[in-house]
Amino acid sequence: MTKTSLLLTAYALFAQGTSATPLVKRNLPSEDLKVQTSKFTVQGTIFPNQTDVRFFGNIPYAEPPIGSLRFRPPVSVKPRNETINGTWFGPSCIQYSSGSKTVYSEYLTGFLLSPGQQTSEDCLTLNVWTPSGMKEGDKLPVMIWFHGGGFTSGGSASQYKYGDRIVRDQNVIVVAINYRLNIFGFPKAEALDGQSMNPGLLDQRKAIEWIHGNIHAFGGDAEQMILFGQSAGGSGVDLYTYSYPFDPLVRGFIAQSGSASRSYSFDASGSNFTYIASQVGCDVSGTKDAIFECMQSKPATDIIGVYNKYNASNNNGAPLSFNPTPDNQVVFSNYTDRQERGLFAQLPTIYSTTNAEGSSLLDFTPDGPSGGQAAIDAATQRTHCGATAGALARRKFNVPVWRVRYFGEWPNLNPFDWLGAFHSSDIPMIFGTSDLRGPDTELEKETSKYYQDAWASFARNPGKGLLDYGWPTFDPADQTLVKLGNGSAKAIFGDPNEFDAAC
């Protein structure tokens, strides 16, 4: 049997043993699994395969973004008389999928939505993992997770990103949110007149406001919250620092494999939105407001169906995309300018990247992407340089900032040698979930524990936690690049210019 088939068999066996049906509570009083928030009560459960981690899922933080609220900023959730069934995740937001095969869809499905996970337009919910046996008055650090997926897909219900193990091992609270994606989160509609163009990012803020006002009910400290996210989630974390420089509501940021330092395009005519409208039966000869209202009335499945089936080669090569766009509210057209002026939340920040960001993101074949290692390195460098730009801006304003680069390669995470430390391969290290497709090596376990300890140290004290952990703040002229998974369970410190010189 080949290495790949052994890994797939291991994953299949694991998946059979981890149904999406939550376990019933075990030996805990019912009140430990029922929490009263400011708007409603949530009934939670004990998380599967754990005895000491509570889970409260499917918690609405905004009204359903349907009908006249589709494509609009989120509206705060209203009080509800009923008890929310929080014993499992609510639906994930509607996903974009071109149907193309990727290394994730074929070999690394644990990074995608969990088996059987449903999707819906009514998806603005969050999920809380918290230690059981907490006492009244407990105030634990809160780590708020933004998932990745290119702002087109993904969600909080994803096996490698379950928060139970880091909660169990680090005595923190983890909150993972859903936010609108693709055309529903980034509609680029002309009728919006350049305002509130990114409801998906506004969802993130709305969720943080809800968490800040309610996390005490779960034993969390609203004054000790950090954001962490990866890929699009990492970009979301970094974008957030520029969107809310004076009122961030959190105390620190961890941006993994994503940053605000990229180009954002503005489609003033709303041509992409109008194209979708024309395909679902809207009269596009009418006014921009009429087109918008028509799109709000169409079935969500029809809208995403057009997007999923779009083929640029059949449309003179014209791209069709829906992603963050400048509105001078939460996305700006020039981040270099904002970095120069210090227009960001000047709070402790970690920028983390992997050593082979490009390997899993380029066109997939079992032999590796076309262009080989040179193409992988070029894509990796783009992500790395965006993180470095953000780090240099923080250093200029004396903000504590750390730069991390991850090098880990493990048998149960790497079905192909050419993947290296691929984009998202650091996630299982942080969440402690790397044994999903097979057992960890001893070094892998130790590396994951060290990684978890670092992230939790930052959460407990963003300004000093990592200094006490032995990590120097970023200085391009000193040995301050934190190398993880580089042959040692602990960090090795290197010269940032080894990778930054080409930026």
- C-alpha gyration radius of the chain: 22
- Is the separation of the CB atoms in 126 and 175 below 8 Å? yes
- The 10 Å Cβ neighbour count of residue 411 is 15
- The answer to whether 444 is a known catalytic residue is no
Catalytic site residue from 357, 359, 360, 384: 357
Cα gap 476→474, rounded to integer Å: 6
| Order of strands, sheet of 34-36, starting from the edge strand that comes earlier in the sequence | 34-36, 41-43, 83-85
- The answer to whether 357 is a known catalytic residue is yes
Alpha helix segments (H runs only) across 280-371? 288-297, 300-309, 335-341
- DSSP character at residue 216: G
Alpha helix segments (H runs only) across 36-120? 103-106
**Residues making up the chain, counted from first to last:** 503
| Order of strands, sheet of 140-146, starting from the edge strand that comes earlier in the sequence | 45-46, 53-60, 125-131, 173-177, 140-146, 220-230, 252-256, 349-354, 401-406, 481-484, 492-494
Lookup result for tokens 């048998």: 411
> What one-character-per-residue DSSP string does 243-306 give?
H-SS--SSSEEEEES--S-S-----TT-HHHHHHHHHTT--TTS-HHHHHHHHHHS-HHHHHHH
What is the maximal distance between C-alpha atoms in the chain? 64
- Is the separation of the CB atoms in 3 and 21 below 8 Å? no
Residue 137's contacts (CB-CB under 8 Å, 6 or more residues apart) are none
Residue 8's contacts (CB-CB under 8 Å, 6 or more residues apart) are 107, 437
Residue 370's contacts (CB-CB under 8 Å, 6 or more residues apart) are 362, 363
Q: What is the 3-state secondary structure (H, E, C) of 137-154?
A: CCCEEEEEEECCCCCCCC
Residue 17's contacts (CB-CB under 8 Å, 6 or more residues apart) are none
Residue 30's contacts (CB-CB under 8 Å, 6 or more residues apart) are none
Cα gap 436→428, rounded to integer Å: 9
Catalytic site residue from 259, 261, 384, 423: 423
- The answer to whether 121 is a known catalytic residue is no
Structure tokens at 237: 């974390």
Catalytic site residue from 114, 132, 156, 231: 231
| Residues with active-site annotation | 231, 357, 423
